[in-house]
């Protein structure tokens, strides 16, 4: 009962925060202007209740940045990109569970409706994966695609590319969460894959506007957006020191009663151990993930959790 009451209190606080956002009357242009001025999402999220009028005044007085924000948004609109603010009804409910870590603006190319789907799985792994690791990502994504479920990954080389392609080849839809503005494909060689994702009803998603390039900090930050969209994460293959391990950490952090759901992490179990799958072994040895093997059939149950046949 205590956990249920705690959850009710958390929900009430979020509702109050949402109401504060609606009353702030900060437009998309003003929010982007403030971000261009250096305000972080955390700062704006925390201060909107107490400083909403001063924030609005700051944006209106920052003529150069406000004009730049309008130009960026105009370019994005012409390119088919939809920008959704935190206080919009179309904003993915999954991201609101991030609270102060939620992106204030998201930029979407393609099918925005996928972002509120519950039947999805994140399949992630290392860029420098070997053939076995790529097969793992491809096969599990292919199974999800055939069943009509959504596969989430990060458009990176290696396991991410294999996961997106496996889902697409099965006739499924996939979401790519990226760490740059949507006018930039990172890496460039995946431009054709990005186009295929869009053409087949998928989604490219970023918290960054046009003109922003990917860097290590942004690549790590996008991991939280990947895992919060799903309740099931499959680690196909990764070294013990890798970006994938950040995603696992986020999946553990955004978990339990305060966030309204439970994340399950699955790690592929390999018969032969090497550096490329040392992260998988670590996760299994320390009970940080559940084992899954190549050749196993997977599906989602009524709670959208993975079931291994």
The whole model's pTM is what?
0.90
Backbone φ and ψ of 290, nearest 5°: -95, 145
Q: What is the pLDDT of residue 18?
A: 56
Which pLDDT does position 269 carry in this prediction?
Answer: 97
pLDDT (tens digit, 9 = 90+) per residue, 83-93?
A: 999 888 899 98
Residues forming CATH 3.40.50.450 domain(s) in the chain:
113-308
Residue 1's pLDDT is what?
A: 36
Q: How far apart are CA 256 and CA 160, in angstroms?
A: 26
Contacts 24+ apart (CB under 8 A), 59-68: 59/26, 59/29, 59/30, 59/33, 59/34, 60/30, 62/33, 62/37, 65/33, 65/36, 65/37, 66/29, 66/30, 66/33, 68/33, 68/36
CA distances in angstroms from 259 to 65, 84, 137, 251, 309, listed in the order given:
35, 21, 27, 11, 29
**Weakly modelled stretches of the chain, pLDDT under 50:** 1-2
Q: Please give the CATH number for the structural domain made up of 113-308.
A: 3.40.50.450
């Amino acid at each position: 009962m205590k956990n249920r009451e705690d959850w009710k209190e958390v929900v009430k606080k979020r509702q109050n925060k949402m109401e504060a956002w609606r009353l702030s009357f900060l437009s998309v242009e003003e929010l982007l202007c403030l971000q261009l001025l250096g305000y972080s999402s955390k700062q704006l999220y925390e201060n909107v209740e107490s400083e909403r009028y001063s924030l609005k005044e700051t944006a209106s007085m920052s003529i150069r940045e406000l004009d730049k924000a309008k130009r960026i948004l105009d370019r994005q609109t012409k390119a088919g990109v939809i920008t959704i603010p935190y206080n919009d009804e179309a904003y993915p409910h999954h991201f609101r569970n991030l609270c102060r870590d939620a992106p204030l603006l998201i930029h979407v190319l393609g099918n925005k409706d996928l972002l509120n789907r519950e039947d999805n799985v994140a399949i992630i792994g290392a860029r420098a994966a070997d053939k076995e690791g790529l097969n793992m990502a491809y096969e599990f994504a292919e199974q999800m695609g055939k069943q009509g479920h959504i596969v989430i990954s990060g458009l990176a080389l290696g396991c991410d590319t294999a996961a997106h392609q496996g889902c697409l080849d099965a006739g499924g839809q996939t979401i790519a969460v990226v760490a740059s503005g949507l006018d930039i494909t990172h890496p460039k060689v995946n431009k054709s894959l990005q186009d295929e994702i869009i053409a087949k009803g998928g989604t490219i998603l970023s918290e960054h506007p046009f003109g922003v390039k990917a860097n290590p900090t942004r690549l790590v930050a996008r991991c939280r957006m990947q895992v919060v969209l799903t309740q099931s994460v499959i680690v196909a293959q990764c070294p013990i020191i890798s970006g994938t391990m950040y995603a696992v950490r986020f999946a553990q952090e955004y978990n339990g009663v305060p966030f309204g759901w439970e994340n399950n992490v699955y790690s592929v179990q390999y018969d032969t151990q090497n550096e490329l799958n040392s992260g998988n072994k670590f996760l299994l040895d320390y009970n940080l993930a559940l084992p899954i093997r190549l050749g196993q059939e997977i599906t989602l149950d009524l709670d959208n959790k993975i079931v291994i046949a």
